[in-house]
Amino acid sequence: MQNNISNFTYFNPTKVVFGKNQISALDQLIPSNKKVLITYGGGSVKKFGTLDKVKQSLGDRVYGEFGGIEANPTFETAMKAVELVKKEGYDFLLAVGGGSVIDATKFIVAAAEFEGNPINIFGSGIGTSEPIKSALPFGTILTLPATGSEMNAGSVITFKEKQAKVSFGSEKVFPVFSILEPELTYTLPKRQLANGVIDAFVHIMEQYLTFPVGAMVQDRFSEGLLQTLIEIGPDVIDETNKDYNLRANFMWTATNALNGTLSPGVPQDWASHDLGHEITALYHIDHARTLSIVLPALLTIRKNEKHDKLLQYAERVWQIAEGTDEEKVTGAIEKTKEFFARLGAPTSFKDIDLGEEVIDILVAQLEKHKKIALSERKDQTIEISRKIYQAAL
Amino acid sequence: MQNNISNFTYFNPTKVVFGKNQISALDQLIPSNKKVLITYGGGSVKKFGTLDKVKQSLGDRVYGEFGGIEANPTFETAMKAVELVKKEGYDFLLAVGGGSVIDATKFIVAAAEFEGNPINIFGSGIGTSEPIKSALPFGTILTLPATGSEMNAGSVITFKEKQAKVSFGSEKVFPVFSILEPELTYTLPKRQLANGVIDAFVHIMEQYLTFPVGAMVQDRFSEGLLQTLIEIGPDVIDETNKDYNLRANFMWTATNALNGTLSPGVPQDWASHDLGHEITALYHIDHARTLSIVLPALLTIRKNEKHDKLLQYAERVWQIAEGTDEEKVTGAIEKTKEFFARLGAPTSFKDIDLGEEVIDILVAQLEKHKKIALSERKDQTIEISRKIYQAAL
């Protein structure tokens, strides 16, 4: 029976502290006896003064810093932080940044307490996928709404030499708290804002655009978030528009897109992510910009399998009331593509100057990473994935 | 500035275990060394075998029972359980029932650890409203979807002699876990099912139907839940309809109606509850049936103050596209009333055989309980409350 809501467990203990001037709450949020390691990325948190505010709010606590976490955070970099944590005895981590910094920090807190080689936290042909028994506590200060990592227990780490992006998840790596200040997004450039909108949009689609199981609440919540992104997306990417509510709605949408609100008891796809990760790993394309290329192609190729949900998506999210079912479905896919294009994102390989030559290479990577039975029904074979890449040319 | 999303903290650590045959998970959810007190109500959990299943799943744990918690749980009854807990040294409570049993259990776990007289957990002219510093851990097995108490930190207790219903809340009284088995609702009579639908509906309205602050996600989530209840309500109250998804959607909607999902950063009303509680306390009318009487009258009297949100409610929830704004607003209130009536609930005092004679008495109770500045703007005076009661005649 595919058409019943499945049994599920919902659990999310992360405390979200949302609004204006919330960094000052750090003093209440982190126990005063903790030795804190602040993790961050390329330096914009220094440039825009966020790091200074954080340090001030830490008061008398002893703290250190670990910067330089990359946009697709690598195992190699994260392991350097793990060594530092062990050597210096840090017992609380504070991630200041976007999804990459937070994902890396999740790995660091788990690896620091892991018995044996931390590479075995991963599966997917990389490690032996052993359970995480404990992790150091950590909090986050989010600077880039996109991944939802600030309120979930998942992480994606890149293995440079192996040209692989691999995820892991564990209840032990929920952030203890996450501070969400919409005003921290005011310094973001257009491209990162657009990436955030697309990333959140596709997160929702991976949990929504599958086959119907009659989960009315989850469907309505997904549709509400998609409608919100469609409504605000074009304004969000205007970097000069510093409307508080606009950025607050963007931030809260991106968090809810992947914090467990949409997924209880429903099937999930994630094939757009699987296919996109290979493009990022080989050609260093921004994660979101691989999704804007793959998703419309995937929906086109998988139109029959996803028919019922595509029709619901057309009618409820895009308000397409006219035409045959087939026309509605095609129209909704077309509108999705136009939405991504309007955000300045690529929607084909051609848009990122790649051509037919990449197809065989990407397909080989899928095989290597055992991505041979993808999607909500595990029926997306290598041959179907090839067709999707081809449809994206 | 009323039109910005307010700062908020979102925190909800309750683990929800949802689906078929989940009572068996108790063995994993309660530490094996705990001495468990099972709390329940009038005996339907015995009659339908739920209690037996619970006891089986507790395995070798030592447990006791405390039954007889009333539909509007009283301080007096709950205090008997507090004495039992202290005397026998129970260190984990398990509430098996609906909102009343769960609310009472929240008070019991807090009172058992409270220094001084537990009456001071309450404010509202009853006690001194002192903070709860600790509480015993407890879990719930929900048998009646309605109040959301299974996934929040609030509770309403009735003081019989004082004819008052008083609420308290504390992060310390979140359930550690709640087991939600939709099939447990199959034995509920029509009236309790209808009460559950109405209770959930009005919980959403208290958080949604105020004034707009531009909180797009919270609005969409509220609208999605309201639409779901409108769609399923008439089928839910058919006690012979044992469709699993139908009951699962009902259960999950009622939980989300009051678990913190809808309220972050938005104004809240709760005046329908304030006015309804007085009716229950004096005339012993089911909680939900006071709400179905008060809410339509309140929306009518407060039409101007709530105009913008009423219009949004009309257009998005009831899909009223035709007419002037005024006609849409009036139409939406009318449809709300019809919806309650269709569920077999009263929508006026006349429907419960009460008349003008109760108005002065109810108004006096409001004054006595200091309910003199109600609603999202704290501008609902006693005189406005009187008008609302009168409009409900």
Which chain B residue shows the shortest CA-CA distance from A254? B217
Q: Is the pLDDT of residue A136 over 80?
A: yes
Contact between residue A226 and residue A208 where contact means Cβ atoms under 8 Å apart: yes
- Chain B closest CA to A324's CA: distance in Å? 22
pLDDT in tens, A79-125: 999 999 999 999 999 999 999 999 999 999 999 999 999 999 998 78
Average pLDDT, chain B: 96
Take residue B165 and report the two structure tokens written for it. 């219903």
Amino acid at A179: I
> CATH 1.20.1090.10 occupies which residues in chain B?
190-391
ipTM at complex level = 0.97
Contact between residue B168 and residue B124 where contact means Cβ atoms under 8 Å apart: no
Contact between residue B281 and residue B165 where contact means Cβ atoms under 8 Å apart: yes
pLDDT in tens, A218-255: 999 999 999 999 999 999 999 999 999 999 999 999 99
**Over residues B196-218, mean pLDDT:** 98
Q: Is the pLDDT of residue B1 over 50?
A: no
**Over residues B237-265, mean pLDDT:** 97
Over pLDDT 70: what percentage of chain A? Answer: 99
**What is the reported pLDDT for A139?**
98
Question: Which stretches of chain B are DSSP H helices?
Answer: 26-29, 44-47, 50-57, 75-88, 99-111, 190-208, 216-236, 244-256, 271-283, 287-301, 307-312, 325-342, 357-368, 382-391
Q: Is the pLDDT of residue B268 over 90?
A: yes
**What is the reported pLDDT for A300?**
98
Q: Does A1 touch chain B (CB under 8 A)?
A: no
Q: Could you say which residues from 186 to 215 on chain A have a Cβ atom under 8 Å away from some Cβ of chain B?
A: 213-215
Q: Is the pLDDT of residue B14 over 70?
A: yes
Under an 8 A CB cutoff, do B252 and A264 touch? yes
Contact between residue B41 and residue B69 where contact means Cβ atoms under 8 Å apart: yes
Residue A1, number of CB atoms within 10 A of its CB: 6
**Over residues A183-188, mean pLDDT:** 96
- Chain A closest CA to B67's CA: distance in Å? 28
**What is the reported pLDDT for A43?**
84
Amino acid at A164: A
CATH number of A15-184: 3.40.50.1970
**What is the reported pLDDT for A1?**
41
**What is the reported pLDDT for A388?**
98
> CATH 3.40.50.1970 occupies which residues in chain B?
15-184
**Over residues B314-335, mean pLDDT:** 98
Residue B323, number of CB atoms within 10 A of its CB: 12
Selected residue of B10, B243, B263, B315 to mutate for chain A interface (largest A Cβ count, 10 A): B10
**What is the reported pLDDT for A2?**
53
Q: Is the pLDDT of residue B383 over 70?
A: yes
**Over residues A164-180, mean pLDDT:** 95
Instruction: Give phi and psi for A332, each to the nearest 5.
Output: -65, -40
From chain B, pick out residues whose CB is under 8 angstroms from the CB of A255.
Answer: none
Over pLDDT 70: what percentage of chain B? Answer: 99
- Chain A closest CA to B16's CA: distance in Å? 5
Q: Does A56 touch chain B (CB under 8 A)?
A: no
Under an 8 A CB cutoff, do B224 and A217 touch? yes
Q: Which of A18, A217, A249 sits opposite B249 (nearest CB)?
A: A217
From chain A, pick out residues whose CB is under 8 angstroms from the CB of B221.
Answer: 220-221, 224
**Over residues B156-184, mean pLDDT:** 94
SS3 A13: strand
Q: Which of A8, A14, A224 sits opposite B221 (nearest CB)?
A: A224
A3 band by pLDDT with thresholds 50, 70 and 90: confident
Give the list of residues 6+ apart from residue B213 with CB closer than 8 angstroms, or none. Answer: A245, B2, B3, B4, B5, B6, B265, B266, B267
Take residue B308 and report the two structure tokens written for it. 């913008």
Q: Is the pLDDT of residue B2 over 70?
A: no
Secondary-structure class of domain A190-391 per CATH:
mainly alpha
Selected residue of B220, B312, B316 to mutate for chain A interface (largest A Cβ count, 10 A): B220
